[in-house]
Amino acid sequence: MKLIPDAESRKRLMKHTLRSLLGIAWSPIIGLVIIALFGNPIALLIGWQSTFIVCALLTLLATVLFVRVFNTSGKKINGKRG
């Protein structure tokens, strides 16, 4: 890779990029699960327009939570605690 010649810098970039790609790739799947589980009950309470906003916020929150959990567990598995 001519853009980043140092191997250690390349590894750090790939670790951070992989976390971001994990969040982007799983967001639609998490969103579909949240809408399937909570969409109808929330829609009965507040209407469909607000339901999409609430489900989008729940999806964003769940995605960030899962990425943090995977990041923490990955550090524990690799022996880097903290």
* pLDDT value, residue 66: 87
Extract the tokens encoding 51: 């339901």
Determine the pLDDT at residue 22: 81
Mean per-residue pLDDT pooled into runs of 10, the chain (82 residues): 73 76 88 94 91 94 88 70 53
d(CA 34, CA 70): 19
For 5, counting Cβ atoms within 10 Å of its Cβ (0-12 exposed, 13-18 middle, 19+ buried), the class is exposed
DSSP secondary structure letters along 60-78: HHHHHHHHHHHHHHHHHHT
In the chain, the DSSP E strands lie at none
Give the span between the Cα atoms of 23 and 11, in whole angstroms: 19
Q: Return the domain boundaries, the chain.
A: 28-72
